[in-house]
Chain A
């Protein structure tokens, strides 16, 4: 009996002890859960931060830290070989005739007059600007100084004529010109804004209205062609087409404008001597079609046949405004 009671007491004690252990176990589980939760939270935060750092690093690697750096990647000034425009006669009309005698082959190599001044474009630009001020005094008119408003005229050509259109100060004049245009693409390239709001070729544009004067200048984009007589033939075709579309207009073929030594950076053919030689082909085309050849170069060239450096200080080809007005004044005075 005693033994039985003792056993009962012992069992109760054991049971109570077990219950106590269970309770303690429960407490430990809650603490562990809290710790696990905190650990999880910290882990997520760490992952989040890692993710952020990764995304930020990738973002900056792709976009760059400096916005301008990605924009300024192409600050170098270059003109494609097929670029440029313009046409100009190298010398006076008297000289042009003599030039024509010496222009047998379009591909003949001629020594550029400007070679000696073209070692470095920067040096030459400084030297040439000094030269230009001493060799020839060019009077720079304002748009108002030019009485002719050219309201009866249309100008056809490439980027040089585009520049004239933007800088001439003559809102009544009409310009059918576009960058890169040449005697081959004039009838195909739909780059001219037509009156109906659409784009069309120069020929499409010429059908819209009759003009009294048509000024055409092509050549600089064609100077790199291997056969200059091919240029001449195509130029004659252009003149024929313009005559057909503008039967009552007087057609003027302008010489290819001179270039300065900066143009050599773009193409070795852009030398004053080559321009003069090329203009003999321009004049031949004009003569063959019995239209007037205008030696615009006589108003713009220096003694060595080159364009003043300050006339085209960026690329040696495209004229700045004050020289565009010299060009326009020549046209006003000679037509």
Chain B
């Protein structure tokens, strides 16, 4: 009887292991939601990342860089929270497509930036829900990643590519 139980558990372990290993690549590329990476020591050039997101992702809208003085006004991220940042926005009413990459002053500031970007996403959902419902797909599954003191947001149709670029 014991042997049967052991054999059964071994079989289940194989099944679970198989599912986990097969699902691994899926979940890692499952950009959606707000993923928080804990690779705290990794460093990024946020400007380069933002530029690459803009150049490598297929955008519906025409994105333009948001002037530094406009960042707080448009997306609600205060200037004293970051040392470097680059934001691209679309035409405003057509799509919700946006890129925002920040190197925060510290991890606490990174958390505050993430909160501001969460609020921005919610605000955009309210703006587009009845106006451009198709944008809700992007807004419902945004790439919003915190890695140490770095914060990345990318609202596009290509989450997998965005995550790959952010690294």
Contact = CB atoms under 8 A, between A and B. Distances in A.
A305 interface: no
A73 interface: yes
B91 A318 contact: yes
Residue from A40, A79, A193, A321 whose CB has the most chain B CB atoms within 10 Å: A321
Given A75-B60, A167-B91, A171-B73, A179 B127 contact: yes
B167 interface: no
B160 A320 contact: no
Given A71-B159, A163-B93, A180-B131, A77 B60 contact: yes
Residue from A55, A76, A314, A319 whose CB has the most chain B CB atoms within 10 Å: A314
Interface in B1-31: 3-4, 7-8, 10-12, 14-15, 18-19, 22-23, 26, 29-31
The binding surface of chain B is classed by DSSP as helix
A125 interface: no
Contacts of A194: none
The binding surface of chain A is classed by DSSP as helix
A37 B3 contact: yes
B7 A162 contact: no
Contacts of B127: 162, 178-179, 191
A79 B19 CA distance: 42
Given A166-B89, A167-B91, A171-B69, A67 B12 contact: no
Interface in A61-75: 63, 67-68, 71-75
B93 A71 contact: no
B39 interface: no
A318 B92 contact: yes
Contact of B130 (A68, A76, A162, A180): A180
A315 B123 CA distance: 22
B92 A52 contact: no
A47 B11 contact: yes
Given A63-B26, A163-B93, A171-B73, A68 B158 contact: yes
Interface residues of B, number: 50
B137 A68 contact: no
B20 to A, nearest CB: 11
A320 B91 contact: yes
Interface string A42-69: 0011011101100110010001000110
Nearest to B92: A163
B88 to A, nearest CB: 11
Interface residues of A, number: 55
Nearest to B13: A48
A158 interface: yes
Given A75-B157, A166-B92, A52 B14 contact: yes
B62 interface: yes
A4 B140 CA distance: 100
Contacts of B15: 48-49, 51-52, 55
Interface string B45-85: 00000000000000011101011011011100000000000
Contacts of A106: none
B64 A321 contact: yes
A84 interface: yes
B132 A83 contact: yes
Contacts of B130: 180
Nearest to B76: A193
A222 B160 CA distance: 39
Contact of B91 (A49, A71, A163, A180): A163
Contacts of A55: 15, 19
Contacts of B92: 159-160, 162-167, 318
B7 A314 contact: no
B91 A67 contact: no
B94 interface: yes
A79 B94 contact: yes
B134 A78 contact: yes
B14 A320 contact: no
A59 B133 CA distance: 28
User: Which 9 pairs of residues, A with B, have the shortest CB-CB distance?
Assistant: A159-B93, A163-B92, A48-B11, A179-B131, A180-B131, A41-B7, A321-B64, A52-B15, A74-B134
Interface of A: 37, 40-41, 44-45, 47-49, 51-52, 55-56, 59, 63, 67-68, 71-80, 83-85, 143, 158-160, 162-167, 169, 171, 178-180, 191, 193, 312-315, 317-321
15 contacts: A44-B11, A45-B14, A56-B22, A71-B157, A71-B159, A75-B60, A85-B93, A163-B91, A165-B74, A171-B69, A191-B126, A314-B61, A314-B95, A320-B64, A321-B62
